[in-house]
Amino acid sequence: MKVALIQHSVKNSKDETLSKTVSMIKEASLKGANLVVLQELHQSSYFCIVEDPKNFDLANDFEEDLKFWASIAKEFGVVLVTSLFEKRAAGLYHNSAFVFEKDGSLAGKYRKMHIPDDPGFYEKFYFTPGDLGYKPIDTSVGRLGVLICWDQWFPEAARLMAMRGAEVLIYPTAIGWFEDDSKDEKDRQKSSWIDIQRSHAIANGLPVISVNRVGKEHDPSKLIDGILFWGNSFVCGPQGEFLHECGMDEELAIVKIDKKRTEEVRRMWPFFRDRRVDSYKDILKIYID
């Protein structure tokens, strides 16, 4: 599997942002990528920075957006992982990933299950939690376990994808920090974000692909100064080893992943063999008092 990670900042308009994304997909295709992964909600600014009912209008072109990205996947002959604002019905919206095959057909979709609600990340205002569960999407490049951003903090989601035969875990992401935070706090946040995803790779013996946006995005309400999205997209192998790490600038990274290593690693580290499923019943509880 030859995967392209596309991390870039949002531009001045949707058309300009799409143009940038498509130009990077074209370059990825020319460099031999057969899987392209885009960042979370890549068509617009991270609108969840503020609660504003007008932002629901961003989903009005949802059906046209599907057709557009299907045509891009077909034009450049890549399996394409997108992240879109899905309008399902009046007043019902999801944060969803749509995966398109090389011929432009829809291979499958995933609706974000874990929805955050924090200062500057008001996603519960916009998104209904997903109802499709944790089901890998079969494509010509393999079985993809696609999750989205906040899902990356939950080991249960990664485990269930792995238990259903995912060959790689993929996380389109929009995460950053507030510039008023101390350097130590910023370092802790970024390190935790990387380490939790590497732990999913190790615990499940699977490669992990994580793609984050970059650049400063401002809060139109001016309640906060904004969010600096830190990029640092990366790919790691099934033992958590880094195959590529991006920086904080725009970047197109092409990374080769050897899916056969999963079998080799799981033979050495047989976590699935040694799971004590008979002792995990309490995991279904919110908390054990």
Q: Which residues are catalytic?
A: 40, 112, 149
The answer to whether the CB of 131 falls within 8 A of the CB of 111 is yes
The answer to whether the CB of 266 falls within 8 A of the CB of 206 is no
Single-letter amino acid, residue 281: K
Integer Cα distance of 199 and 53 in angstroms: 37
CA atoms within 13 A on the CB side of 52: 15
CA atoms within 13 A on the CB side of 226: 11
**DSSP string over 250-280:** -EEEEEE--TTHHHHHHHHS-TTTT--GGG-
The residues, any chain, with a CB within 8 Å of residue 115's CB and separated by 6 or more, are 95, 123, 124, 127, 128, 129, 150
Integer Cα distance of 87 and 103 in angstroms: 24
Q: CA 160 from chain center: how many Å? A: 16
Tokens of 49: 């920075």
